[in-house]
Structure 1
Amino acid sequence: MTKQDWKPGTMVYPLPAVMVSCGNTPEEYNIITISWTGTICTNPAMCYISVRPERHSYDIIKRNMEFVINITTEQLAYATDWCGVKSGKNVNKFEEMKLTAGKASVVKAPIIEESPLSVECRVKEILPLGSHHMFIAEVVNVKADERYIDPETGRFQLDKAGIMAYSHGFYYALAEKIGRFGWSVKKK
């Protein structure tokens, strides 16, 4: 097998494609689509999003120090893409995409009701890194759609929601499960 050298770039894929909601009042509510997001700590539960400072949501998040990461699905694919290419300076993304701004339990930023999972976050630190600034946040609450909670085990079944991912300019439905954590070493 031969491999080519490429210039340094962001080629760690696939990534989640999430809609981040922000704002303290309905007049300020906005949605930004982000794929540069992830978990950074278990205890306390922490995650991050990376945002360009020139994006409309950047100032809203920096001013309020809160946001919500809303997991997206195949049904939300169009809205996810649309909210990533349109600016909240010019349009109300909730209205245009017919999304419902719901009440979060801990933060003032809204959740997106149509999302199967909404992760409420409070910013702890902002790291300027170059083209993007990383918002490091503590997870202060998670709102899970009861349709995806197994009534017998209480386990959240995100795989049943039809979640999607982003990879190098394209959105993908996630494929079938091929294993589970620890399955490679499980005794038979």
Structure 2
Amino acid sequence: MKKSIGKKPAIIPTPVLIIGTYDKKGKANSMTAAWGGVCSSDPLSISFSVQRTRHTHEALLEKKECTISIPLAAHVKEADYFGVSSGRDRDKFSDTGLTPVRAPSVHAPYVDEFPIVIECKISNVVDVGVHDLFIAEVVDVLIEDTWMSADGKPDLQKAPFFFYNPLDRSYYKTGEFLMEGFSTSNLFK
């Protein structure tokens, strides 16, 4: 039997997205966003929500470009810090020892130590309460070659990513292969 737990953000797992921008002063800044994911395949787009009070929100509206870096489990503390501190009064890169790098295709920084970087241009912003939903068209994806398998795909067993559980405000690691996707078309007929 299922039990009601009330109205909660129960999409689990929730990805950990590190949104990179330059602020008005040109300082590299990143924030953690847990409300996000792929929202269109054509044009390939990712959506993520940012509260209007966040320092990153202003930069996203002004610059209309960003990166999304995907961290490994080894950097869970740094990723959490990016979400609980503000670039208004902290240099999060300096504080964590992580390295900002100017993305090649958009005017935004990414986190060099994180193996996957998605370069994006903001295509739409939707008011959804205390957050704005940013829809960002993917310009390019950069993947650290040491995390690639022989077939040119990210090897998730080599690169243990992690996700956020909004119900208990905790992080958990991924990495176990289960099966190939889109492989069950004849299984249940």
User: TM-score when scaled to structure 2?
Assistant: 0.91
Change in CA separation of 1:55 and 1:25 when aligned onto 2, cut-off 3 Å: closer
> Superposition RMSD on alpha carbons, in Å?
1.8
Answer whether contact 1:24 1:109 (CA < 8 A) is retained.
Answer: no
CA distance in 2, matches of 1:101, 1:80: 14
Unmatched 5+ residue regions in structure 1? Answer: none
Identical aligned pairs, as a percentage?
27
The structure richer in strand per residue is: 2
Which residues of 2 match residues 81-92 of structure 1 at below 5 A?
A: 81-92=80-91
Unaligned ranges ≥5, structure 2: none
2:31 corresponds to which letter in structure 1?
I
> 1:171 is matched with which residue?
171
SS of 1:161 mapped into structure 2: coil
Q: Which residue of 1 aligns with 2:38?
A: 39
Report the alpha carbon displacement of residue 154 of structure 1 after superposing the two structures with TM. Answer: 2.1
In 2 relative to 1, CA 8–96 (structure 1 residues): closer, same or farther, beyond 3 Å? Answer: same
- Aligned runs of 1:67-146 on 2, under 5 Å? 67-146=66-145
Local SS of the residue matching 1:60: helix
| TM-score where L is the length of structure 1 | 0.91
Is 1:23–1:29's contact at 8 Å kept on the other side of the alignment? Answer: yes
Q: CA separation in 2, counterparts of 1:140 and 1:106?
A: 7
Code of the aligned partner of 2:164 = Y
Letter of the 1:155 partner, please give it.
K
- Tell me the alpha carbon deviations over residues 93-127 of structure 1, each in whole angstroms, 9 at most, x when there is no partner: 01111111112111010111101000011000100
Runs (4+) of structure 1 moved beyond 6 Å?
none
Distance 1:133 1:92 in 2: 24
